[in-house]
Amino acid sequence: MAYLGTAKEADFTTLKKALGLTDGHMSTHMKLLLENGYVVAEKEFVENKPRTTYRMTAKGKQEFAAYIATLKQILA
């Protein structure tokens, strides 16, 4: 969520590499974020290869901001 909050959008491979995850772990995490409405996915083909791009939803931005606020309270 932090990466998407900064980048605005990122494809599966970019996120996976940036976070150091395997395909399986990345898929598992993104599935949960999609199911909870925190991100949306756009699927397309680029040069005959599938590409999935993710963006945070308004709900995702709100929930992530609340999470950061909670962390700040804990650290204060």
- Mean pLDDT, consecutive 10-residue stretches, the chain (76 aa), reads 94 96 96 98 94 97 96 95
Please provide residue 32's backbone torsions phi and psi, each rounded to the nearest 5 degrees.
-65, -40
Q: What is the pTM of this model?
A: 0.88
List of domains in the chain = 2-75 (1.10.10.10)
Residue from 37, 39, 32, 31 nearest 55 by CA: 39
Q: What is the pLDDT at residue 44?
A: 95
Q: What is the pLDDT at residue 56?
A: 97
Q: What is the pLDDT at residue 21?
A: 96
